[in-house]
Amino acid sequence: MAATKEEQGAKAPFLHVLSDRINALTEALLFVTIIAMVVVTTLQIIFRFFFQALTWSEELSCFLLVLASLLGTAVAFKKSNHISVTFVLDKLPPGPKKAVQTLIGFLGIGFFLIVAYYGAVLMKTEAGQLSPALMVSMKWIYLMYPVTGSIVLLHFVDSIATIWKRS
């Protein structure tokens, strides 16, 4: 098998390097988020049985679960580990296959543009509201939607660029 440009010592495109670095940060944040969710949930159980229940723990666990799901989505799109049906795509010749992959990428970009945009709108409209237990502005909670949507957008653009760089 022929060596890739990176293996041959050629510089990777800036977009690809940026996507890889942001993905590395996303994976680290995903790990921390899941650990935090496990710790908070464990504390919730311990305090409920042996002490006075933590009023904020359930709400924080829910927010961490949503954040972990969104971060996991970003990582899955970067690594192409999301669920997909490829039996038709695999049978296409290279030209049409590239076109279909590009179409799929643009559909993903459209979807995540909506997620990022309406996440930002939600963040702005709910900025004055506080979460009931944590008493944190909901803009900080809803920030996860435009941020993760933007990360997935970057991964999609990088994916399309990679598709068209291949010979």
The answer to whether residue 9 is domain-embedded is no
The answer to whether residue 7 is domain-embedded is no
Give the tokens for residue 56: 């904020």
In this structure, the chain runs to a length of 167
Distance CA 23, CA 3 (A): 23
* pLDDT digits 0-9 by tens, 83-104: 777 777 788 888 888 888 888 8
Q: Could you tell me the residue range of the domain that residue 77 belongs to? A: 14-165
Q: How many H helices and E strands in the chain?
A: 5, 0
Q: Minimal CA–CA distance to 38: which of 61, 54, 59?
A: 61
Name the pTM for this structure.
0.83
pLDDT tier, 10 (very low <50, low <70, confident <90, very high otherwise): low
Distance CA 44, CA 29 (A): 22
The answer to whether residue 1 is domain-embedded is no
The answer to whether residue 37 is domain-embedded is yes
Alpha carbon separation from 37 to 10, 131, 148 (Å, rounded):
41, 18, 18
* pLDDT digits 0-9 by tens, 144-164: 999 999 999 999 999 888 888
Number of domains in the chain: 1
